């Protein structure tokens, strides 16, 4: 691996650090962080990766990073880059990631904290038995035929709700893009990708993916929380996963295409993982159509898991759907590239916004938000580590001014997986989590070791930076009581 290159960083205001453009960088880099967070950020190669992203042709404004930034591959995790198709702007699969439309959804219920006390282990057993997790997880539902897969890739969560009866129109309304990216064309998805996806619908996978049951324990904005159907003591469910093997294969397939495209179009990049093609090129257009299919698969996947979770809750507590009241608060993607209109230097431009470990965060009044949420702003779901807390935020006006309508997506790792495993040796990890009041069910001990709370930044520090910068505001906090890990 290449040696670390020195990158200058200077503070421009309380919450923002800038990397001035140097040779090859077309725009500056900007990292949103506090004094405390920037010290950790400087310890890995993520700052260098912010500078590398600034090399992309057609990048607009700045190569941005949210406060949960950490070292990824190509793009940093927590990176945002907007490119202009009209000015030779590129699309980079590395700016989306392998797990296309990895994302989070949060559901609220009519259940209160006291309703589930004493039942959490039984509930987590039921969820663990029903939602496949871990390596090679598959067959949550009957495998789809190739024809069914093609319908799903075109229609996303709509296919699961309307053709398979797994969910409601209300679920679609509260999913980013209503659960379906336009321009999806299954003709640009390889047979191997479709084959990998056929058996994996409704599964979590492993790594940092999870299904979590939590209690709203702090309300910061009672008006917005009430609009979302939450008050102190409300039981909620978080689901974090993506497009599974289908999305990974789409990314792999198009990295090969893009590796040739950079030679064809004479694009010079500091890291091969940033390979890209002009949005207006044949290669760029094909990737965008395939990426939309993978994004649609991910929304369908989270919708099927939602359906399975609803069944588990109803069976465990012997209640019907009305008493359960499990309604989708919102579903956001945090690995995606989308065309959005943004005002740059007073001009409205259509840009391709890459969010690699970053979440869309449109403010109140934005016409792109569902009508029943428009008065408060778009909900943003920020999972923390499995022992501390997660946050529900809403987009604020500063997001459109500073970050192309983007905010953070999680706590962000502070410790490598190798170091986290070393720290866990000889420890009763499940017992430690139980002492914190969290019941953990996992397919493997090693994943739990890598995902222990000490491996992550404190998510409270991350969301406070975004609030301080005027990008997103806190609505409520969720304290986990049960977690399923892959």
Partner 1 sequence: MTTSGYREIDHTADVGFEIWADSIPGLFAEAVLALSEVCYERTAVLWAEERSMEVRGTDPEEQLVRWLQETYLQLESGLWLTAAATNVVVKGEMVKGILHGEPIDPARHTLHSEIKAITYHGLKIVREHGLWRTTVVVDV
State the residues that interact with partner 1 by CB under 8 A: 1-2, 44, 46, 70-74, 77, 97-99, 134-137, 195-196, 205-207, 245, 248, 251-252, 255-256, 259-260, 271-273, 275, 413-419, 443-444, 446-447, 450, 486
- State the nearest-atom distance from the C-beta of 424 to partner 1, in Å: 13
CA distances to 261, 288, 405 from 250, rounded to whole Å, are: 16, 10, 26
Return the number of the residue (307 or 356) whose C-beta is nearest partner 1.
356
Q: Is 409 a catalytic residue?
A: yes
Shortest distance, CB of residue 101 to partner 1, whole angstroms? Answer: 13
Output the smallest distance, CB 270 to partner 1, in A.
10
* Minimum distance, C-beta of residue 88 to partner 1, in the bound complex (Å): 23
Rank residues 86 and 135 by Cβ distance to partner 1 and give the closer one.
135
CA 183, CA 179: separation in Å to the nearest integer? 13
Q: Give me the phi and psi of 142, to 5 degrees please.
A: -60, 135
The terminus-to-terminus CA distance of the chain in angstroms comes to 29
Closer to partner 1 by Cβ: residue 83 or 273: 273
Least CB distance to partner 1 at residue 93 (A): 11
Shorter beta-carbon distance to partner 1: residue 137 or 458: 137
Question: How long, in residues, is the chain?
Answer: 486
Kindly state the DSSP code that residue 205 receives in the 8-state scheme: -
How far are the Cα atoms of 58, 82, 85, 341, 348 from residue 344, in angstroms, in the given order?
13, 11, 14, 10, 6
Under DSSP, is residue 430 helix (H, G, I), strand (E, B) or coil? Answer: helix
Buried (b) or exposed (e) across 462-483, using 16+ Cβ within 10 A? bbbbbbebebbbbbbbbbbbbb
Cα separation, 90 vs 264, whole angstroms: 13
Helix (H) or strand (E) holding 192: helix 191-198
Q: What is the rounded CA–CA span in Å between residue 258 and residue 394?
A: 36
CA distances to 5, 312, 378, 406 from 470, rounded to whole Å, are 32, 39, 14, 11
Nearest distance from residue 125's CB to partner 1, in Å? 18
Nearest CB to partner 1, comparing residues 316 and 416: 416
HSE on the CB side for 91, CA within 13 Å?
A: 28
**Nearest residue (CB) to partner 1, 302 versus 413:** 413
Distance CA 272, CA 63 (A): 18
Catalytic residue among 188, 209, 334, 409: 409
C-alpha closest to that of 293 among 202, 360, 194: 194
Which residue numbers are catalytic?
A: 409
């Amino acid at each position: 691996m290449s040696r670390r290159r020195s990158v200058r960083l200077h503070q421009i205001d309380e919450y923002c650090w800038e990397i001035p453009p140097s040779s090859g960088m077309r725009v500056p880099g900007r990292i949103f962080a506090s004094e405390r967070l920037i010290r950790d950020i400087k310890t890995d190669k993520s700052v260098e990766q912010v500078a590398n992203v600034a090399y992309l042709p057609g990048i607009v404004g700045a190569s941005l990073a949210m406060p949960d930034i950490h070292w990824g591959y190509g793009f940093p995790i927590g990176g945002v880059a907007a490119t202009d198709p009209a000015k030779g702007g590129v699309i980079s699969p590395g700016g989306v990631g392998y797990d296309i439309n990895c994302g989070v959804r949060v559901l609220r219920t009519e259940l209160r904290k006291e309703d589930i006390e004493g039942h959490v282990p039984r509930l987590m057993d039921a969820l663990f038995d029903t939602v496949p997790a871990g390596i090679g997880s598959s067959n949550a539902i009957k495998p789809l035929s190739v024809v069914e897969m093609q319908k799903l890739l075109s229609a996303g969560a709509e296919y699961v709700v309307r053709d398979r009866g797994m969910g409601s129109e209300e679920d679609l309304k509260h999913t980013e893009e209503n659960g379906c990216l336009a321009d999806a064309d299954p003709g640009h998805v390889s047979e191997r990708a479709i084959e990998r996806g056929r058996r994996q619908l409704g599964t979590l996978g492993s790594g940092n993916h999870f299904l979590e049951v939590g209690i709203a324990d702090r309300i910061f904005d009672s008006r917005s929380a009430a609009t979302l159907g939450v008050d102190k003591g409300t039981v909620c469910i978080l689901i974090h996963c993506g497009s599974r093997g289908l999305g990974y294969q789409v990314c792999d397939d198009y990295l090969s295409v893009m590796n040739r495209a950079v030679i064809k179009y004479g694009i010079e990049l500091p890291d091969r993982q940033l390979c890209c093609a002009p949005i207006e090129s044949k290669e760029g257009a094909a990737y965008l159509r395939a990426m939309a299919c993978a994004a649609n698969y991910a929304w369908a996947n989270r919708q099927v898991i939602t359906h399975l979770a609803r069944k588990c809750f109803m069976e465990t507590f012997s209640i019907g759907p009305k008493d359960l009241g499990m309604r989708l608060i919102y579903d956001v993607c945090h690995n995606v590239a989308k065309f959005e209109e943004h005002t740059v230097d007073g001009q409205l431009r259509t840009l391709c916004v890459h969010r690699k470990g970053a979440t869309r965060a449109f403010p109140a009044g934005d016409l792109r938000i569902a009508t029943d949420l428009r008065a408060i702003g778009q909900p943003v779901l920020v999972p923390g580590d499995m022992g501390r807390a997660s946050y529900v935020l809403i987009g604020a006006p500063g997001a459109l001014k500073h970050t192309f309508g983007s905010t953070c997506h999680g706590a962000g790792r502070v410790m490598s997986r190798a170091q986290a495993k070393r720290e866990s040796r000889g420890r009763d990890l499940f017992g430690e989590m139980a002492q914190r009041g969290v019941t953990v069910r996992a397919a493997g001990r090693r994943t739990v070791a890598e995902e222990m709370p000490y491996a992550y930044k404190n998510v409270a520090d991350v969301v406070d930076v975004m609030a301080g910068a005027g990008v997103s505001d806190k609505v409520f906090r969720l304290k986990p009581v049960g977690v399923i890990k892959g």
